[in-house]
Chains A and B, each alone.
Chain A
Amino acid sequence: MDRSATVGTGLTSGIAMSSADNPKLKEIVEAVAREIVSTDHRAGGSFIRTPLMYPGGATVVVRVDQGDNRFFVSDVGLGYQEAELMGAGSMYVKPARVIAEEAGVRFDNQAFFVLEASRDQLPGAVVTIANCSQHAVMRASDALAEKTFEDRKSRLYDKLVGVFERKVVKKNVEIIGASTQKWPIATIVTLHGHRPTIFEPVTKHPNSVAHAAMKFGDIALLKQDAPHRVAVVQSKAELGKLLTILSRSADVIDDNETNDRIRRLAMAA
């Protein structure tokens, strides 16, 4: 039977062949399944290496210990350790407690665990603990990203206060764009006799650039009432083609721009 016609993609019949026709493929798939889930029996215990990954790529590992016809399942604090290695250890415990409660498992401020699982419950317990451990590290990672951006906003404010008088620099304000959408703005400098100038940190992540471009574009449509807009990035050179998008609706400067140039930008408004 010509399976490629059935598939309708123009693929060669070799690629469209199922494992029924290709015992070699079946062997390969079986081998891959054994590679992505494996066991490790060491002096410290018996471990299952799951296919789940922490954000940095490390695989999630769960330990199983046996009591009298009952099993103890735990991530032995490996999720917490992963968060610590990322620099997000202090952001791990709070979401981890919530995750444990939602999943109906326990958490002792470092490790997720199921105290007693029967043999029948063991696979589910292993998967649940692995999921909790992964989820908690992902939440800590998100919190770390958020804090990093907040730190940049704080540093920008401190820099502007160093360039201008504190009373002309405002942080965390809102500006209503031409669409009537309210946009949060990190910092705005208002010099006497000049239009206000927005200084907004933007990362090189495409989502950050897209969001900033959308915000600046809507504000620019206020025309003569629009504040001057300046995007502050870590490195213009690293933005690549994203710089073109950003520069359509804002001036773009580096984090380490000179005070003199910043002053001139605000006074050009």
Chain B
Amino acid sequence: MAQDIEKLFRADKLLAITPTWTDRGSDLLEIVCPLEIEGTVVEGLQFRLTARKSMPDETVTVQIEYHPPGEVGGPWARIEWRPLSGHNNKGLGPKEWQNRLITGCHHHPFELNHRYASNELNRGNLPIAIPIESSPKDFDALLQLVNEEFRVTNLQWIEVPPWEPVLPLE
């Protein structure tokens, strides 16, 4: 199984259907899309993208997740662009990243979480994150980063989230 998930994560992947934004209520927008590898839509492998309707050009989260047949599964890697929440690595991961409180854009890399927290990886958690030093300047740049890190190659299908910014009251 360990070899399978590494192999799946490192493979080139495609969004298997045209992704459309869903309004989940409470300001939450979401895309969930199955992923295809070499012509096969892999059972349980998904791409998830969330945004907040009232907050354009920020608080977008992207992750690859795997829910194998008969199992609950969870996320393998996540990128958080201009998030509201910070992240605390607690005492996990490489020494230089332990107990780091990260604010701003960050990435929960598959390699670090698989290596240092594989227990947590299958329990829905990605406890180790590292800052993204050069924050993508806009949504398209974010998708480019996701392409590089997650190897999902047809992200141009994804439309900009249907943001509805709230005008400040005077």
Contacts and interface: CB of A to CB of B under 8 A. Distances in A.
A36 interface: yes
B148 interface: no
A43 B28 contact: no
B90 interface: yes
13 contacts: A36-B101, A43-B168, A56-B120, A56-B124, A59-B88, A59-B101, A60-B85, A77-B25, A80-B26, A87-B65, A87-B73, A141-B124, A255-B1
Interface stretch (B7-15, B50-58, B131-139): B50-58
A89 to B, nearest CB: 10
A47 interface: yes
Contacts of B84: 40, 42, 47, 49, 61, 78
A167 B125 CA distance: 39
A85 interface: yes
Nearest to A234: B1
B103 A38 contact: yes
A49 B65 contact: no
Interface residues of B, number: 48
Given A49-B85, A59-B85, 11 more contacts: A35-B101, A38-B103, A42-B84, A56-B124, A59-B88, A59-B101, A60-B85, A81-B50, A85-B78, A148-B122, A234-B1
A42 to B, nearest CB: 6
Interface of A: 35-36, 38, 40, 42-45, 47, 49, 53, 55-61, 76-78, 80-81, 84-88, 108-111, 141, 144-145, 147-148, 151-152, 154-155, 204-205, 234-235, 238, 255-256
B5 to A, nearest CB: 12
B67 to A, nearest CB: 7
Contacts of B88: 53, 57, 59
A38 B101 CA distance: 12
Contacts of A45: 54
A57 B129 contact: yes
Contact of B27 (A59, A77, A148, A152): A77
The 4 lowest CB-CB distance pairs between A and B, nearest first, are A86-B124, A77-B26, A44-B55, A110-B26
Contacts of B86: 49, 58-59
A47 B25 CA distance: 19
Interface in B1-54: 1-2, 24-28, 48, 50, 52, 54
B127 A43 contact: no
A235 B70 contact: no
B70 A59 contact: no
Contact of B123 (A59, A108, A148): A148
Contact of A76 (B27, B61, B166, B168): B27
Given A56-B124, A234-B1, A87 B28 contact: no
Contacts of A55: 124-125
Contacts of A205: 119
Contacts of A80: 26, 28
Contact of A87 (B56, B58, B72, B127): B72
Interface string B59-81: 10101010100111111001000
A86 B27 contact: no
Contact of B28 (A81, A88, A151): A81
Contacts of B168: 43
B87 A59 contact: yes
Contacts of B70: 151, 154-155
A58 B101 CA distance: 9
A78 B54 CA distance: 14
Contact of B72 (A84, A147, A204): A147
A141 B123 contact: yes
A119 B102 CA distance: 30
A49 B103 contact: yes
B97 to A, nearest CB: 11
